[in-house]
Chains A and B, each alone.
Chain A
Amino acid sequence: MKITYIHIYGFGKWQNFTLHLEKTNFPIMIGKNEAGKSTIQKFILFVLFGLPPKQREFYQPKTGGTVGGRMELLLDHGEKMMVERLHDRNNGAAVCLFPDGTVKDESHLQALLGMGRNTYEAIFSFEAADLTDLHKIDQNDLGETLLNIGLTGSTRINETEKTLVQQLSERFRPQGKKPPINQRLQELDKINEQLKEMEREEASYQQLNNEQQETKGHLELLRHQKETIQEDLFRLQRLLQVKDVVLAYHQYANSSTDNPIEFPVDGKERLHALKDQLLPLESEQQLLLQRIQENEQKLKKLHSASLSQELIEDMEQLSAALPGIQDSIRKEEHLNDRIREYEYNVGRELTELDIELTQEALANYDFPFYLEEEWVQAARQKERLEGDEERLKEQERHLSAEEKHIEDRRAVWEGQLLEERSYHHCIADLEAFEQKQRRGGENEGPSSDKRQRQAKQTFGLTVGLAVIGLIAAWLLSSLPVAMFALLMLIGGYYIYRQSTSLGAELSQDSGVSNLSEEEYHLNRQKLDQHEKASYELEHLQEQWQRSSVERMKLEEQKQSLRSRRERLNQLIEEQRKQYPFLLEISPVHWVRLYHAVKPLQEQYRQALELKQEVASLENEQKKYTVQLETFLTNAGWEWNDNQLSALIGYFHEGEKVIQEIDRDRVRLETDIEDLREKKKQLEIRMLPFKREKNSLLEAAGSDKEQAFLQIAEAAEAERKRRDKREDLRRQLTTILKKDDIEDYQVLEKVPDYQLLEQQLTELQEKIQQVEVERDSRRQELADLHNKLSKLEHAATFSEQRHQLQAKRDELQAEAREWAVLQTAYKMLLQTKEVYQHTYLPDVLDRASDWFSRLTGDAHHRVYFHPERGDLQIESSDGFRFSASELSRGTADQLYVALRLSLSAVLSREDRLPFLIDDAFVHFDPTRTGVMMDIIEELTVSHQVFLFTTRGDLADKMSGAVTIKLSDRIAGGLAN
C-alpha cells in the first residue's frame, strides 16, 4: 500500500495542507524541531486508524475549522481509494471513496489494513522517543529489553512483565512472611489452632455431662442420708421431751390392780334408762289383757244366743233354696196365666169352627204328618171321580144317541133291502138278461145273501152275548166269564166269516133270468138300490160294531168308576170313623179344617204340658213348705200360718236375727285378735330391754339390782385410775410416733435416758458431717453446671469459626487477585517463548547483518541464549558476551537493527508505509550513510516516510523526494 496524496483540512498546526506523493516511495520530510513533522505523522495515523473524541479535539486548529482530511491510497493490486475522516462526521469514522463512485465505510479500511493502531505503531512507526525510552532502562535489564525489542519491537512487554512480577511478589511469596497473603496464612493458622483447642474443650462436654449426672446422684444420696439421720434425731428429741410423762405413766401403771373389777360401763345409768323405757310398756300390756277378757265374755253370750250348728246348716240350705222356690212360685203364676190363655183361645176357635169337637176330644186325635196329604188326596179323588162320572155319563148319552141313529138308519136301509130270493132272482134275471144281451151275465145267488144274513145275525148275537159276558165279568170281576165272553165273540166272528165267504161262492152259481129291458132297468134299479142299501148296512153294521166296542169300553169305565167310588167312600168312611167331627163336613173342606184344627191341637197340648209343669212346681213347693215347717218348729221360731209365703216371711225374720248375731260375733273375734296382736308386739318391744337388763345384771355378776349397784360403786373407783393412766398414754402417743413407742418399748418399761442423751449427741455430730459434704458436692455441681452452661452458651467458638471463614474469604479474594496476576505473568512468558521459537531466529538473522554493518563489522552476530534467556553478541574476533554488556551507543545500534529487522520480518506480508523519525537513526555520519542504505532497502517493498531535520540526508538517495516543511508553512504554500 502506498499513500499517494495527502490533504489536511485541519490538524494541529496544519491547515489546508496537501502533498502529492504519487511518484515517490521514499518521501523525506525535512523541517526543524517543532516544524510539524510529528503532527503529519499523527495525521497519517489518524486517517488510517482514527482517534478518540478527546484526542481529536486536541488537534483542533487554533484558528478554528474542521479537524480532519483525506488521503489517497494506492492499493497493492493497483486500485486507488480515497479515505476521508472528519472529527465531526460519523463520530470520527472514515469514509472510503472509490474512483467509480463507490463509497465504503471504516470497516473496509480496517480490513484492508489488517491490524490495529498499536500493532501498526509497534511495527511501522519509529520515533525518537522509543530510543529515549531505551536509554532509561537499567543497564542490567538491557539484554532482556533488547530481546523484547527483538520480539515485539517495544519495551512494553518488558515493563508489563516487571510490573507483574513486582505485584505478585508484593502479594505472596512462597517462602516469605511479610506479603499480605503470607500474613493471612499465618493468621489463619493461628485461628485454626485456637479452634482446635476450643473443639477439644467442647468435646469435654460429654464428660462434664456425665460428671454432672454422677454428682447429682451423689447429692441425692447425701440428701437421703441426712433425712434418715434427721429423723432419728427428731425421734430421740421427742423421747427426751416426754421423759416426765413416761415416768408418771409407769407410776400409774404399777399402782393399778391386777384383777380389775368386771363391771359394765355406765352400768347404773344404763339400768335406769332401761327401767324408764320398760315401765310404760308394762302398763300398756296390762290394759290390753283386760280388754281381751271383756271381749271374750261378750263372745260367749253371743254363742248362747245363736242356733246349733245343724240348724244353722239347715237354715243355710233353706236360705240357699229359697230363691229357687220364689222363682217357682212366680213361674207357676205365669204358667197358669198362659194355660188360661191357651184354653180360652182353643175354645173360641173351636166354637168358631162350629164342629162337633170339644177341647178334650181334640187332644185325643192324632194329626200325623201324612194326614194332611191323605185328606188332600181324598178331596182330590172325590173331585176327579165326580168329574170322570160326569164325563162317562156324557159319553153314554152320546153313544146311545149314536146307536139310536144307527138303528134308525138301519131300519131305513133294511126297508130298502130286497128279499134274498128276490135279490137272487133279480140278479139272476139281470144276469140272464145280460147273458141274453151278451150271452152271459152272471148273477149273484140269493142264497149266499141269505147265508150272509144268517151269519150276521149269529155274529150279532154272539157279539151281544160276548159284550154282556164281558160287562158281567167286569162287574163281577170274574176272569172265567170274561174268557167265555171273549170265546163267544171269537166264535161269533168265525161263524160270520164262514157264512160271508160261502155267500160269495154261492153267488157265482146264479140262475138265468129272462127279464125285459124295463124290468131289467127296474131290476137294475132295485138291485142297485139293494146293493147300495146292503153297502150302507154293511157300513152301519161296522158303525154299530164300533159303537158297541165303544159301549163296552164305556161299560168298563163305568165299572172302574164304580169301584173307585166304592174305594173312595170306604176311605171317607174310614176317616169319618177315625175323626167323627168330619162326619158333617165334605171331604173338600177337610184340608182347611186340618189347618184350623192342627194348631188348635198344638195349643191345647202346650196348655196341657204347662199344666204338667205347674203340677211339678207345686210339688216342689209343697216339699219346701214341709221342710220349712220342720225347720221353724225345730228352731223354735214363732209361726202360725202354713202358707208358704207366710212361712218364708217368718224364716226371713229368724234368719235376719241369726245373721246379726253372727256379724257381732265376727267383729268381736277380730277385736280380740287385734288386741292379742298388739299384746304380742308389745312383748316383742319389751324383749330387748329385758334381755339388756338381764345381760347388764349378768355382766356385773349379779342377778339382783341391789348387788348390781354395789358393784357399780367399786368399778367407778377403778375406772378413774385407769383413765388417768390412759390419759398419760394418750399424751405419749400424741407426742411420740407409733414407731417410737414400739421401738423403744416406752409403754413397757422406762427407757435408758442416759443412753438416749448420748445417742443424740452422736447423731448431731453426724448430721453436721453430712451437711459439710453436701455443701462441697453442691459447689461441685454448680461448677459443673457453670462449665456446661459456659460451653452451651459459649459464642466464642462459633465466633472464631465465623472469623476463620471470614479470613478465608479474604484469603480467597486475595488469592484470586494473585491468580489473575500470576496467570497474566505466566501467559506473557509463554507467549514470549513461542515468539522466540517462531520469529526470533529470523529477526536475529537479519538484525545480525544490519548490526554488523552499523558497527562497521565490529560485531559479527546476535543470537538468543535459551539457558540464560537473553541475547548474546558475538564480536568479529569470536568473543561472545551478553547484550546487556554493550555500550549505550552500540546498544542503540542493536536496538535499531532489531526493530527494523522485526518490522521487516513482520511486514513481509503487510506492505504498509513505514514512518521513521530521524532522531531514531541519528548516528555519526558514516553510520548515517549505512542507515540510509538500510532504509533505502526497505523502500523496495514499502513506502517509507522519513522525518528529519537534516536536509542533506536526501542528497544521496536516488528515489527520495524532499519536502521541506518550513518552506510550506513559511511560504504559506498550500499546494
Chain B
Amino acid sequence: MKTKPYLKFIHCADLHIDSPFKGVGELPPPLNKHVRESTFFALDRLVDQAVTHKVDFILMAGDLFDEEIRSLRAQIKLRDAFRKLKDNGIKVYTSHGNHDYLSADFHPVTYPDNVHVFQEEQVTHEAFSKNGETQAIIYGFSYHNRAVTERKAAEYIRTDDHAYHIAMLHGSIETNTEHDVYAPFRLRELQEKMMDYWALGHIHKRTVLTENPPIIYPGNIQGRSIREPGEKGCYLVEMGETGTNCSFLPLQAFQFETFHLSTKAENFDELEQMITTKKEEWRNTGPAIIHLHITGGEGLATLRHHNQEMEELLDVINEQEQSEEQWLWVRKIDIEAVSPWDEGQLIQEKHFVGEMLRQFQQSERMDYWLKPLYRHRKARKHLEVLREEEKEKVLQEAKDLLLTELLKR
C-alpha cells in the first residue's frame, strides 16, 4: 500500500454572490455599502484563505449566485477571484445548484482554465493530479433546471483509483424541511458510497452530518437574513496519513444575531438606556445586524403598540453606529411582556371581550382582510405573502392591541 498523499482543500457552498439581503431594510450609506458588498468581501476572504493556507483546490458545491438576480458584477467578481486562484496555482471544482442552474439565463463570462465545472446532469468525475500523480477523484453534477427531484446518491460510483474520493452534492438531507427539497438523500445512502469526503451544498446552516467520513454542509459564506445567524464561512479540509481534519474558517463580513433580554423597564427611556449598555457588551462579536427579543412585565406591556415611539427608539439606538468599525445595527425589537389580564378568564366571559377572544380563535378570514394591501396591484409584486407563523404573530399582536385598547382604564 502506497502512503496516502497529503491533500488540502477548502469546501464552501451557496455563495449567492451579490444577492440582496432580506429583512435588513434601509441603512445609512456606510453600513449600506458594507452590507451590500459583504458577499464580495466574503469571496475575497475565501480566496485569501485559500492562498494563505496554500490549498490544492477549492470545492464550491453549487449556488454560486442567484439566477433571479443575474448580476454581471457577481460573475465578473467570481471570474476575478478564479483568476487570482489560478495565479496561485489553486484549482476550483464547482457545480451549478438550484439557484444557478445551467439553463438559466446568465451573462457569458468565461472562467479561466483552473476551474472545472461539472456540467453534466449526471454524476461525473474528474481527477486532481499533483506532481504527476492522481491524488483525488472528485465527483459532481449540475442542476440543468431549477428543480432536481430524483435521488442522486445512487449515481456516485467510486472508481478504482488509489486516491481520495471526494463527492460534491447539492441537495437536501431528507430530515431538513427549511429549504426546498432537491436531490434528496438519506445519510445512510451517502455513508454506503465509501467516499472519503462529502462536500454538500444547498442548506445554509453549517452542519457536520457525520465526522467519519466527513459529510458536511459548510453553510453559506455570508448570512443573508436573521434566519441565518452566527458565523458563516468554509471548511478547510486536510487529508493525510493521520486521517482527515476539518476546521471551520469564518468568512462573513457581518453577522445576523438575535439577542434575548429581559427587563423591568416600563418606559422607553429606561429601555433605551438598557439596550445602549448591552450593545457595548455585544460589540466584540463584530459587525452585526441584530434583532432584540425583550421580555418583561406589565410595565413593558404598556409600551407595546406604540409604533411611533418604538421607531424613534430604534433611531436613537442606531444613531451613532455608522461611524463604528464594529457596528451593531438593531433592526427590530420584539417585546414579549406579561399582560395585566388573564386571557383564560376573559375568554370565558359573556361580555364583548370574551366574545372577541373567542372570535380570535377562528381567523380564517384573515387572508381576506389583508387582501387590500397584500393583493394590491402595485404592492403584491414587492410583498411576500405572510408565512403561517408570521400570520399567527400578527394575529397575536392584533389581539393584544385590541385588549389593550378595550381594557384601557
Contacts and interface: CB of A to CB of B under 8 A. Distances in A.
Interface of A: 52, 110, 114-116, 118-119, 122-123, 151-152, 156-157, 159-160, 163, 172, 174, 181, 185-186, 188-189, 192, 199, 202, 205-206, 209, 791-795, 797-799, 801-802, 804-813, 815-824, 826-828, 830-832, 834-835, 838-839, 906, 909
Nearest to A206: B108
Given A156-B406, A824-B398, A185 B351 contact: no
Contact of A828 (B356, B384, B395): B356
A816 B366 contact: no
A818 B353 contact: no
A826 B36 contact: no
Contacts of A815: 373-374, 379, 383
A808 B25 CA distance: 7
A805 B378 contact: no
Contacts of A808: 382-383
Contacts of A119: 346, 349, 351, 353-354
Nearest to B401: A824
B356 A819 contact: no
B307 A817 contact: yes
B21 A802 contact: yes
Interface stretch (B67-75, B132-140, B178-186): B67-75
A826 B369 contact: yes
B283 interface: no
Given A160-B402, A801-B69, A806-B32, A181 B386 contact: no
B373 A819 contact: yes
B369 A823 contact: yes
A818 B275 CA distance: 26
B398 A830 contact: no
A835 B353 CA distance: 10
A116 B353 CA distance: 11
Contacts of A798: 18, 36, 71, 73-74
Nearest to A110: B345
29 contacts: A116-B341, A118-B341, A119-B349, A123-B351, A156-B406, A159-B405, A174-B376, A181-B379, A185-B382, A188-B378, A206-B108, A792-B76, A802-B21, A802-B32, A802-B36, A809-B26, A816-B386, A819-B373, A819-B374, A819-B386, A821-B398, A823-B398, A824-B402, A827-B359, A830-B365, A831-B355, A834-B359, A839-B350, A906-B350
Given A188-B382, A807-B26, A205 B72 contact: yes
A824 B351 contact: no
Given A824-B399, A827-B356, A831-B359, 7 more contacts: A110-B345, A116-B407, A192-B381, A799-B36, A807-B26, A807-B382, A820-B394
Interface residues of B, number: 69
A174 B398 CA distance: 21
Given A110-B345, A831-B352, A831-B359, A812 B383 contact: yes
A152 B346 CA distance: 14
Contact of A906 (B25, B351, B378, B407): B351
Contacts, number: 187
B272 to A, nearest CB: 20
Nearest to B397: A820
A805 B20 CA distance: 6
Nearest to A907: B350
B70 A174 contact: no
A225 B153 CA distance: 59
A797 B382 contact: no
Contacts of A152: 351-352
Contacts of B316: none
A906 B366 CA distance: 29
A818 B373 contact: yes
A157 B383 contact: no
Contact of B20 (A189, A804, A818, A831): A804
Q: Closest 3 A-B residue pairs measured CB to CB?
A: A805-B20, A823-B398, A824-B398
Contacts of A116: 341-342, 345-346, 349, 407
B107 interface: yes
A118 B339 CA distance: 14
A819 B394 contact: yes
A206 B107 contact: yes
A818 B383 CA distance: 13
A118 B307 CA distance: 25
A163 B405 contact: yes
B405 A156 contact: yes
Most buried by A among B72, B353, B376: B72
